[in-house]
Amino acid sequence: MLSMPMLILVLVVLSAVGYQLGRRRSLAVSTNGGAAPGQRLHSLPSYYGFYTALWCGIPALILVALWIALQSVVITQLVISDLPPEVQSLPEARLNLVVNDIKNLASGNIVSRQVDPAMRAAADHYLQLQAISSAALTVVVLALAIGGIAIGWRSVSPEFRARNAVERVVNIFLVASSSVAILTTLGIVLSVLFEAIRFFQAVPVTEFLFGLHWSPQTAIRADQVGSSGAFGTVPLFAGTMLISAIAMVVAVPIGLMSALYLSEYANRKFRAVAKPLLEILAGIPTVVYGFFAALTVAPLIREAGTSVGLSVASESALAAGMVMGIMIIPFVSSLSDDVINAVPQAMRDGSYALGSTHSETIKYVILPAALPGIVGGILLAVSRAIGETMIVVMAAGLAANLTANPLEAVTTVTVQIVTLLTGDQEFDSPKTLAAFALGLVLFLITLVLNVIALHVVRKYREQYE
Amino acid sequence: MSNSAGQASSPGAAESNSATRIMRQGLAGRHRAERRFRLYGLVAILLGLTFLLFLLTSIVATGLPAFQQTYVKLDIYFDPEEIDPQGTLAPKTLSRANYAALVRSTLRHYFPQVSKRRELRELYKIVSAGAGFELRRKVMQNPELIGTSETIWVPTSDDVDMLVKGHIDRHLPENERRVSDQQIAWIDQLMARKKLETRFNTLFFVNGDSRQPELAGIWGAVMGSVYTLLVTLSLAFPLGVGTAVYLEEFAPKNRWTDLIEVNINNLAAVPSIVFGLLGLAIFINFFGLPRSVPLVGGLVLALMTLPTIIIASRAALKSVPPSIREAALGMGASKMQMVGHHVLPLAMPGMLTGTIIGMAQALGETAPLLMIGMVAFIVDVPGGPLDPGTVLPVQIYLWADSPERAFVEKTAAAIMVLLGFLIMMNALAVYLRKRFERRW
């Protein structure tokens, strides 16, 4: 009947007890033959303690995790099987609503309709099952923990290789944690791919990749205009490219020039102040940039445009792109800084010896030598710009506009993913699935850019190492 | 230059002189180019810093007024007739009583000359709709208040607040502003009678979200962020350190570990929104975890920050000199003991620094949390990682989307709070690095 944090706490305490018991036991068995404490033991006494504690904690924790994962499903099934047959035969979506109502009723929330006795009974049943489950969990887990202590305690003997056993467990943990990275990638690929495939069953790939029209809102009635929705992503990618290009136009010159100045000209003091200050730009959350773009920069640009007689959309690509560029400046500058510093001093000295000025050395020697690395860094920055979400969600438009005019509003891939997936959603409409298809393309584009960029940067580093 | 070099190679003092002359002629221009180039660099840095300054000042200037809020002083008579006519003091009666009526009667008392219904409605609009709740809280806490009088300060409605702070222009024609001439007159009278003033906005720090800007606070979002980050930290730190230790100290050099390394580098550059898609498809749709809860947010952010922590931890492990390892092994320690007793403690400051930076990243992240439903409008302050909640950056996004003028300054103020947390975390990381940095 313990609450979850209490249960975990009790487990921790029990493990500590197990540690003490195991340690004491090892000392006790080792002195049985009359030797000094700890002399005949294979491992240090603490390892026997850890061994017992692991036996106490790990099986119990695994059980708790499994229980939590399965509990709600099992209870829901049990409650459904107890409902009147006419409710059970409802289609799945309606049944889910009923189950939701029962859960709301059980937790004392307001429900969406009249409470009939059957529902009330089901809610009570639900609560009762939950109580049983929680009580059973407590009992079983505590029994398992105490049983674990007993097993660990019994296996303590001078010949027992406790250290090897404990180290094996730690090793398993290390291997498992390092495979989380693989599992994450796999999870991303699978989750995005499955939904995308379902989407492509409804909408052909060619239409998705080459269609010029994007309006994912499907109409409710079949005879309405645009009833099928249009899923041509060319305007989205054009918008993404436009905004990313504007960002690069801002970020690359400023980032590159400040990296050059900081690493080639600036004295130590200036560098120590300016570099961290510039890097603050990278630490500011993107939602802050989005707010800044929408509230300050966009109106500024619009006013400036109106004053010279241009009509500027209030959600112009220029505002979003410029602010995104500001965000990327430190990214470009710190990557360029790395590669510029990797250029060997001998090349600079050679250039000075031939009588070239500092800037000539930079332009004709350092930059060409560092170019591959810089290009790699810029590619990474582009992939960052393409995947950036909050700035464009807050400052770019929603309507898919196929235009190259930076003063108009365009939309991007990430904006569309967010708008398609926030709010109420049903999981089988092409509208929702389209977001996953967009996510797949986004993932692939950034993956390819990253692989190329990392490869280029590594090749470049090897060249001078 | 190649031209002059060619001439210099031919014999003759005159020729060589002319080569030097040509060099000299070009020199001034080259030095000008040098200075120009230097200037470009300086301008680039100054531009970057100007952007930073502009960004911060615009946010601080917008957000600072939100820490003040206009309050109105009400002399409330807790009328037993209105609250609890039977005198039962039953909690149900007390919680259902019409407290807004008490506020209204006080307002009528302040301006006895107002009697028309339409005017009265205008008058009531001066005080926030939350005033009644505040009274109810007081009475529920202390039922003995019934029958007594008390002076309390309650927030005004957001329009009044905006007017007092000067965001609503009094000189606009009446139908173009949200406050009527009559209301302005009342507000001025109240101010003259010292019954209306701006004070420190404590509600902003203790309340959850609200549709009423004057009642909206960040505490719910702060607690949501805390729970989310706790989940993230408790997963990402052990997993990240475990991975780093395995890859640096134990892993054999083979295909599998190569694959893991490539994977980690790529994960570090995957757009954050894709992690949101992962969370939606796996944690919510496949495992059936509830939407909008900090637990799922924490899981997603843990996967997102894992590469940062792994990369920083590996760098920290690499910086521990091999001699330490050899000495431990030479003393008869097992490999695991060598790592656990010597390498890990020495690398820990670096790992912690990396972890704090990863957490700072997670604290500022918005996009993946939008995908898993943390954008829901939630008034209650979450009490645990399984309660629906939102986080600071998402709260900022939600407020930035709200049309009321008063939410603009709330948004900027929430940004200031978020930046404050980030500055503290980064300062801690810098301190750790400075304090424990060791050069071998």
**B243 to chain A nearest CA, in Å?**
4
Examine the domain organization and report whether B31 and B88 are in the same domain: no
Percentage of the residues of chain B whose pLDDT score is greater than 90:
45
CB contact under 8 A, A442 and B274: yes
CB contact under 8 A, B48 and A258: yes
Closest chain A residue by Cα to residue B416: A288
Best of B278, B317, B369 to mutate (most A CBs within 10 Å, chain A)? B278
Examine the domain organization and report whether B199 and B160 are in the same domain: yes
Q: Determine the straight-line distance between the first and last CA of chain B, rounded to whole angstroms.
A: 48
For B222-235, the DSSP string reads: HHHHHHHHHHHHHH
Please give the C-alpha separations between residue A342 and each of A192, A449, B28, in angstroms, as whole numbers.
Answer: 39, 23, 31
Q: At residue A457, does pLDDT exceed 90? A: no
Say which of B242, B401, B422 has its CB closest to residue A283: B422
pLDDT score of A220:
53
Do B45 and A259 touch, CB atoms closer than 8 A?
A: no
Say which of A175, A187, A277 has its CB closest to residue B49: A277
CB contact under 8 A, A383 and B287: no
Q: At residue B8, does pLDDT exceed 60? A: no
pLDDT score of B80:
82
**A261 to chain B nearest CA, in Å?**
5
Q: At residue B294, does pLDDT exceed 50? A: yes
CB contact under 8 A, A446 and B285: no
**B352 to chain A nearest CA, in Å?**
18
Examine the domain organization and report whether B243 and B335 are in the same domain: yes
pLDDT in tens, B63-74: 999 999 999 988
Domain-embedded: residue B211: no
Across A190-199, B70-79, B141-150, least confident range: B141-150
CB contact under 8 A, A274 and B45: yes
Chosen domain end from B20, B39, B64: B64
pLDDT score of A160:
87
A171 inside 8 A of chain B by CB: yes
CB contact under 8 A, A439 and B55: no
Examine the domain organization and report whether B317 and B329 are in the same domain: yes
Across A49-53, A418-422, B15-19, least confident range: B15-19
CB contact under 8 A, A173 and B242: yes
pLDDT score of B351:
93
Instruction: State mean pLDDT over B302-318.
Output: 94
Single-letter amino acid, residue A158: P
Cβ neighbours of B301 in A, within 8 Å: none
CB contact under 8 A, A389 and B259: no
Do A113 and A102 touch, CB atoms closer than 8 A?
A: no
Check which CATH number belongs to the domain holding B432 and give it: 1.10.3720.10
Examine the domain organization and report whether B173 and B247 are in the same domain: no
Single-letter amino acid, residue A387: G
Highest mean pLDDT among B88-102, B225-239, B286-300, B368-382: B225-239
Angle between helices A367-387 and A234-260 (to 10 degrees): 140
Cβ neighbours of A329 in B, within 8 Å: 48, 51
Q: Residue B117 half-sphere exposure, CB side, CA atoms within 13 Å?
A: 0
pLDDT score of B146:
83
Q: Residue A146 half-sphere exposure, CB side, CA atoms within 13 Å?
A: 5
Say which of A170, A442, A447 has its CB closest to residue B336: A170
Cβ neighbours of A387 in B, within 8 Å: 270-274
CB contact under 8 A, B267 and A185: yes
Distance in angstroms (rounded) separating the CA atoms of residues A102 and A80: 10
**B365 to chain A nearest CA, in Å?**
7
Say which of A258, A363, A436 has its CB closest to residue B277: A436
pLDDT score of B278:
93
Domain-embedded: residue B265: yes
Chosen domain end from B206, B241, B263: B206
Domain-embedded: residue B58: yes
pLDDT score of B14:
58
Q: At residue B367, does pLDDT exceed 70? A: yes
Examine the domain organization and report whether B225 and B247 are in the same domain: yes
Q: What is the pTM of this model?
A: 0.88
Look up residue B198 and give its DSSP letter. E
Say which of B43, B45, B400 has its CB closest to residue A294: B400
Instruction: State mean pLDDT over B289-301.
Output: 90
Distance in angstroms (rounded) separating the CA atoms of residues B287 and B280: 10
pLDDT in tens, B166-223: 888 888 888 888 888 888 888 888 888 888 888 898 889 998 898 888 889 999 999 9
Instruction: State mean pLDDT over A211-239.
Output: 73
Best of A8, A104, A174 to mutate (most B CBs within 10 Å, chain B)? A174
**B222 to chain A nearest CA, in Å?**
15
Say which of B55, B334, B394 has its CB closest to residue A167: B334
Please calculate the CA angle B342-B345-B349 and round it to the nearest 5 degrees: 145
**A223 to chain B nearest CA, in Å?**
32
Cβ neighbours of A285 in B, within 8 Å: 363-366, 393, 418, 422
A361 inside 8 A of chain B by CB: no
Distance in angstroms (rounded) separating the CA atoms of residues B389 and B287: 19
**B53 to chain A nearest CA, in Å?**
10
Across A29-43, A49-63, B300-314, B377-391, least confident range: A29-43
Distance in angstroms (rounded) separating the CA atoms of residues B272 and A80: 38
Residues paired with residue B73 on neighbouring β-strands, in sequence order: B153
Examine the domain organization and report whether B47 and B180 are in the same domain: no
pLDDT score of B90:
79
Q: Which long-range contacts (CB under 8 A, 24 or more apart) does A414-420 make?
A: A414/A240, A414/A387, A414/A388, A414/A389, A414/A442, A414/B271, A414/B273, A414/B367, A415/A389, A416/A214, A416/A216, A416/A236, A417/A389, A417/A442, A417/B273, A417/B277, A417/B371, A418/A389, A418/A393, A418/B273, A418/B367, A418/B370, A418/B371, A420/A216
Neighbours of B130 (CB within 10 A): 18
pLDDT in tens, A332-346: 999 898 888 888 999
pLDDT in tens, B38-67: 999 999 999 999 999 999 999 999 999 999
Examine the domain organization and report whether B162 and B89 are in the same domain: yes
Q: At residue B93, does pLDDT exceed 90? A: no
Total residues belonging to chain A: 465
Across A160-164, A455-459, B282-286, least confident range: A455-459
**A403 to chain B nearest CA, in Å?**
25
pLDDT in tens, A158-204: 888 889 999 999 999 999 999 998 999 999 999 899 989 988 988 88
A299 inside 8 A of chain B by CB: no
Say which of A185, A256, A281 has its CB closest to residue B263: A185
Examine the domain organization and report whether B198 and B150 are in the same domain: yes
User: In 3D, which of A339, A376, A375, A382 has the Cα closest to residue A249?
Assistant: A382
Where residue B98 falls among pLDDT bands split at 50, 70, 90? Answer: confident
Examine the domain organization and report whether B357 and B426 are in the same domain: yes
pLDDT score of A41:
81
Closest chain B residue by Cα to residue A424: B373
pLDDT score of A341:
87
Where residue A114 falls among pLDDT bands split at 50, 70, 90? Answer: low
Q: At residue B11, does pLDDT exceed 60? A: no
pLDDT in tens, A356-394: 999 999 999 999 999 888 999 999 999 999 999 999 999
Please give the C-alpha separations between residue B364 and each of A15, A52, B304, in angstroms, as whole numbers.
Answer: 36, 41, 12
**B357 to chain A nearest CA, in Å?**
9
Place of tokens 């009642």: B215
Domain-embedded: residue B213: no
Across B86-100, B142-156, B260-274, least confident range: B86-100
A67 inside 8 A of chain B by CB: no
A109 inside 8 A of chain B by CB: no
A377 inside 8 A of chain B by CB: no
pLDDT score of B122:
86
Do B367 and B276 touch, CB atoms closer than 8 A?
A: yes
Q: Residue B271 half-sphere exposure, CB side, CA atoms within 13 Å?
A: 31
Examine the domain organization and report whether B98 and B125 are in the same domain: yes
Examine the domain organization and report whether B13 and B123 are in the same domain: no
Distance in angstroms (rounded) separating the CA atoms of residues A362 and B230: 48
Across A70-74, A371-375, B103-107, least confident range: A70-74
CB contact under 8 A, A357 and B288: no
Residue A134 is encoded by which pair of tokens? Answer: 């929680």
Distance in angstroms (rounded) separating the CA atoms of residues A324 and A317: 10
Q: At residue B3, does pLDDT exceed 50? A: no
Residues paired with residue B197 on neighbouring β-strands, in sequence order: B71
Which domains are delineated in chain A? Answer: 4-160 (no CATH), 230-464 (1.10.3720.10)
Closest chain B residue by Cα to residue A427: B285
Distance in angstroms (rounded) separating the CA atoms of residues B282 and B93: 47
**B64 to chain A nearest CA, in Å?**
15
CB-based contacts of B141, cutoff 8 Å, min separation 6: none
Q: How many residue pairs from chains A and B have C-beta atoms closer than 8 A?
A: 258
A300 inside 8 A of chain B by CB: no
Domain-embedded: residue B214: no
Distance in angstroms (rounded) separating the CA atoms of residues B52 and A190: 40
Domain-embedded: residue B357: yes
A392 inside 8 A of chain B by CB: no
Domain-embedded: residue B212: no
Distance in angstroms (rounded) separating the CA atoms of residues A337 and A348: 16
Instruction: State mean pLDDT over A289-312.
Output: 91
Percentage of the residues of chain A whose pLDDT score is greater than 70:
91
Say which of A257, A326, A454 has its CB closest to residue B40: A257
pLDDT score of B7:
45
Instruction: State mean pLDDT over A223-230.
Output: 58
Say which of A187, A359, A393 has its CB closest to residue B278: A187
> How many folded domains does chain B comprise?
3
Chosen domain end from B206, B228, B255: B206
Residue B55: domain span: 2-64
A167 inside 8 A of chain B by CB: yes
Neighbours of B24 (CB within 10 A): 9
Say which of B36, B278, B418 has its CB closest to residue A188: B278
